[in-house]
Structure 1
Amino acid sequence: MPEKLKAMFVHAHPDDESSKGAATMARYVDEGIEVLVVTCTGGERGSVLNEKMDRPEVWENITSIRAAEMATAREVLGVRQSWLGFTDSGLPEGWTRDSDVELPEDSFYRVPTDKAAAPLVELIRDFKPQVMVTYDEDGGYPHPDHIKTHEISVAAFEAAGDPEAYPDRGEPWQPSKLYYDVAFTVDKLRALHNAMLDAGLESPYANWIERRSKMPDKSARITTKVECAQHFAVRDEALKAHATQVDPDGFWFAVPLDLQQKTWPWETYQLVKSTVETDQPENDLFAGLR
Structure 2
Amino acid sequence: MAVHAHPDDESSKGAATMARYTDDGARVQVVTCTGGERGDILNPRLADDAEILRDLPGHRRREMAAAAAALGVDQVWLGFVDSGLPEGDPLPPLPEGCFALTPLEEAVEVLVRRVREFRPHVMTCYDENGGYPHPDHIMSHKVAVAAFEAAADPAAYPDAGEPWAVQKLYYDVSFSIARIEAVDTAMRTRGLVSPFEGWLTTRSDRPRRRATARIECAAYFPQRDAALRAHATQIDPDGFFFAVPRDIEAQVWPVEEFELARTRVPVGAEVEDDLFAGVQPEGLAVVGGPPPELPVPAAGDARQAGAPGHDRAAVEQAARADDAAEGGRVEA
TM range (shorter): over 0.9
In 2: Cα distance, 1:60 partner to 1:90 partner: 18
State the number of aligned residues: 278
Q: 1:237 aligns with which of 209, 216, 226?
A: 226
Deviation at 1:100, TM superposition (A): 5.9
Deviation at 1:59, TM superposition (A): 2.6
- Structure-2 residue corresponding to 1:108: 99
Which residue in the other structure is 1:285 paired with?
Answer: 275
Query: Which residue number corresponds to residue 12 of structure 1?
Result: 5
RMSD of the TM alignment (CA)? Answer: 1.2
Q: Secondary structure at the match of 2:141?
A: helix
**Could you tell me how far apart the structure 2 residues matched to 1:142 and 1:42 are?**
18
- Structure 1 contact 233–257 (Cα < 8 Å) conserved: no
Find the counterpart in structure 1 of residue 79 from structure 2: 85
Q: TM-score, normalised by structure 1?
A: 0.93
CA–CA distance in structure 2, aligned partners of residues 213 and 250 of structure 1: 23
> Distance in 1 between the 2:107 and 2:2 partners?
16
How far has the Cα of 1:202 moved from its partner?
Answer: 1.4
The answer to whether structure 1 residue 143 and structure 2 residue 137 are counterparts is no
After TM superposition, list the pairs within 5 Å mapping 1:214-225 onto structure 2. Answer: 214-218=205-209, 221-225=210-214
Please tell me whether residue 166 in structure 1 is matched to residue 160 in structure 2: no
Looking at structure 1, the residues matched to 87 and 49 of structure 2 have their Cα atoms a distance apart, in angstroms, of 22
Tell me what 1:40 maps to. 33
Which stretch shifts more, 259-268 or 208-217? 208-217
Task: Report the secondary structure of 1:92's partner residue.
Answer: coil
CA distance in 2, matches of 1:289, 1:215: 32
Residue 243 of structure 2 corresponds to: 254
Shift of the alpha carbon at 1:216? 2.6
Which consecutive residues of structure 1, in runs of 5 or more, have no partner in the other structure?
A: 1-7
How far, CA to CA, are the matches of 2:49 and 2:119 in structure 1? 42
Report what 2:312 is aligned to.
none
Q: Give percent identity, aligned residues only.
A: 55
Letter in 2 for 1:79: V
Aligned residue number for residue 173 of structure 2: 182
Q: Paired residue for 2:120?
A: 129
The one-letter code matched in structure 2 to 1:281 is V
Tell me the CA shift for residue 56 of structure 1.
5.5
Amino acid at match of 2:138: I
Partner of 1:3: none
Look up the equivalent residue of 1:222 and give its one-letter code: A
Which letter does structure 2 place at the counterpart of 1:70?
M
Residue by residue, what CA displacement relative to the aligned partner does 1:226-268 show, whole Å, maximum 9, x if unpaired? Answer: 1111101110110000000101111110111111001001100
Q: Residue 251 of structure 1 aligns to which amino acid in structure 2? A: F
Q: Is the 8 A contact 1:131 1:177 kept in 2?
A: yes
SS in 2 for 1:34: coil
Query: Contact conserved, 1:227 with 1:283, CA < 8 A, in 2?
Result: yes
Q: Which amino acid aligns with 1:289?
A: V
CA distance in 1, matches of 2:211, 2:244: 23
What is the Cα deviation at residue 212 of structure 1?
1.2
Structure 1 segments, 4+ long, off by >4 Å, are: none
CA distance in 2, matches of 1:169, 1:213: 43
